[in-house]
Structure 1
Amino acid sequence: MSDLTIVYRTHQVWVKPGHRLFAYLEQACQNAKNLYNTTNFYIRQVFTSFGRNEPLQPLQQQVMNTLKTQLEA
């Protein structure tokens, strides 16, 4: 068995509000954060939907219908 070590490295870059790319990068970061939060929301809804004996809540049903529609397309 091999010893696989995963190392995550990050690099932080500060961009001043007056920089010409500031607006673009700010929007890109906002979009990335929204995508991350939306994905976590869907994962939580699916996780709590499976294994339930009682009917799904309306929001859970909406998420499951959306996923079913997208997976069938």
Structure 2
Amino acid sequence: MFSRAQVRRALQWVPGKERLGVYRFLPFFFVLGGTMEWIMIKVRVGQETFYDVYRRKASERQYHKAGRSIGD
């Protein structure tokens, strides 16, 4: 792995330290989040994307919740 000194040295290369401080990393995380979101929407694993699975599971939960309340 990397030592603490190596990580610190690498972080010094990111510009904007005096003007922005720790917020100089914000654009990197914004791009990383956007990339992750794009992958979850567009990349298929097998036949489904992340959101296909999410919608199906939410629908199943709603169906089971409604079924239990009707049967009580």
If the length of structure 1 is used for normalisation, what is the TM-score? Answer: 0.37
Bigger relative contact order (CA 8 A; separation at least 6)? 1
Q: Which is helix-richer, 1 or 2?
A: 2
